């Protein structure tokens, strides 16, 4: 590989094959094992360095080239016009972090069908800003960005070692089997869905407790994921017969938005400062 002393895999791929390659295209290639690092499946956020062997299947190399040409032909978007909207989402900022309250319906990263996202808005606000975790497009709430590479690497380690505490608020339909409980069911990606798989799935644990009975078999709950699997809360709640309201993918009660909100985050910074922030629940969240 080229001499990049330390870089995220997705950034290395863009430097090598084209800066316009959408994150969704990279993620799909990684899931399909068409991109390997030192012969092993990895993640787009994994760090690669000089001496690592990055394999990209020739078919994917062609895909990258084609996508890059298509993206170059599109007119450039001036994201600076969205800076005021982004600033309005900020609930905390210091020299190292920006924490926002993301609205439902806004993607965190650009994709092949997405022309506006948190990451490009953030870079228009501060060119050094970079995401350190992700929320589903349909999920609202706390999203953390680092303002420098050192903070980004530190937060990546915190998430990997489960030292970031996250709490969510959700509204579910159906009858909760318990007022509070723990769901321990391994998960695995299956095409565009996440499913429970006790043989091949990765460990996934979710705590929940009821907060308020909304009537009509709808309950507001607090949810604490102890692991960070994709769609974890949504799949786990659906698995006990209580899908999240508005969750089209996992058979949730029909509603105009997903009633899942990243409510609270707490962690200790590299400087030893404790941070605990709450994102107010939006007005469009509750089922009437």
Residue 259 maps to which CATH number? Answer: 3.30.2350.10
Instruction: Give residue 113's pLDDT band: very low, low, confident or very high (50, 70, 90).
Output: confident
Do 99 and 69 lie in one domain? The reply is no
Instruction: Give residue 72's pLDDT band: very low, low, confident or very high (50, 70, 90).
Output: low
- 288 found inside a domain: no
**8-state DSSP, 244:** B
User: Alpha carbon 157 to chain centroid distance?
Assistant: 16
Choosing from 10, 136, 213, 284, which is the catalytic residue? 136
**8-state DSSP, 50:** T
For residue 189, pLDDT beyond 60 = yes
pLDDT digits (tens, 9 = 90+) for 142-161: 999 999 989 999 998 999 89
pLDDT digits (tens, 9 = 90+) for 9-43: 998 998 888 877 888 889 889 988 899 998 888 88
Do 29 and 99 lie in one domain? The reply is no
How many structural domains are present in the chain? 3
Domain endpoint, select from 160, 186, 205: 160
- 285 found inside a domain: no
Strands 140-146 and 260-268: parallel
**8-state DSSP, 34:** S
Residue 214, token pair as written in the block: 């909304």
Do 144 and 57 lie in one domain? The reply is no
Average pLDDT over residues 211-227: 93
Tell me what pLDDT residue 90 has: 97
Tell me what pLDDT residue 124 has: 94
pTM beyond 0.85: the answer is no
| 130 class by beta-carbon count within 10 Å (0-12 exposed, 13-18 middle, 19+ buried) | buried
The domain containing residue 32 runs over which residues? 7-73
Tell me what pLDDT residue 288 has: 55
Residue 251, token pair as written in the block: 């058979």
Domain endpoint, select from 73, 88, 112: 73
Do 190 and 265 lie in one domain? The reply is yes
Tell me what pLDDT residue 66 has: 81
- Is 119 a catalytic site residue? no
- 177 found inside a domain: yes
Tell me what pLDDT residue 3 has: 46
Instruction: Give residue 68's pLDDT band: very low, low, confident or very high (50, 70, 90).
Output: low
For residue 75, pLDDT beyond 80 = no
């Amino acid at each position: 590989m080229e001499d990049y002393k330390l870089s995220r895999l997705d950034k290395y791929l863009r430097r090598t094959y084209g800066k316009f390659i959408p994150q969704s295209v990279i993620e799909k290639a990684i899931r399909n094992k068409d991109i390997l690092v030192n012969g092993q499946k990895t993640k787009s956020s994994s760090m690669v360095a000089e001496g690592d062997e990055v394999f990209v299947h020739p078919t994917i190399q062609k895909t990258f080239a084609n996508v890059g040409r298509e993206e170059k032909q599109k007119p450039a978007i001036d994201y600076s016009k969205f800076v005021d909207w982004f600033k309005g989402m900020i609930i905390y900022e210091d020299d190292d972090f920006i924490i926002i309250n993301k609205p439902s319906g806004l993607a965190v990263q650009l994709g092949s069908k997405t022309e506006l996202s948190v990451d490009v808005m953030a870079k228009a606000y501060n060119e050094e800003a970079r995401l350190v975790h992700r929320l589903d497009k349909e999920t609202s709430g706390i999203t953390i960005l680092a303002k420098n590479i050192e903070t980004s690497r530190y937060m990546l380690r915190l998430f990997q070692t489960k030292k970031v505490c996250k709490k969510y608020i959700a509204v579910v339909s159906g009858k909760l089997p318990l007022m509070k409980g723990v769901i321990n069911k391994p998960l695995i990606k299956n095409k565009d869905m996440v499913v429970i798989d006790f043989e091949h799935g990765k460990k996934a644990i979710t705590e929940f407790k009821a907060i308020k009975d909304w009537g009509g078999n709808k309950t507001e709950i607090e949810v604490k994921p102890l692991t960070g699997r994709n769609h974890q809360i949504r799949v786990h709640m659906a698995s006990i017969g209580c899908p999240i309201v508005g969750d089209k993918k996992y058979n949730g009660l029909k509603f105009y938005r997903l009633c899942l909100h990243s409510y609270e985050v707490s962690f200790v910074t590299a400087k030893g400062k404790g941070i605990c922030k709450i994102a107010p629940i939006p007005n469009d969240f509750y089922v009437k």
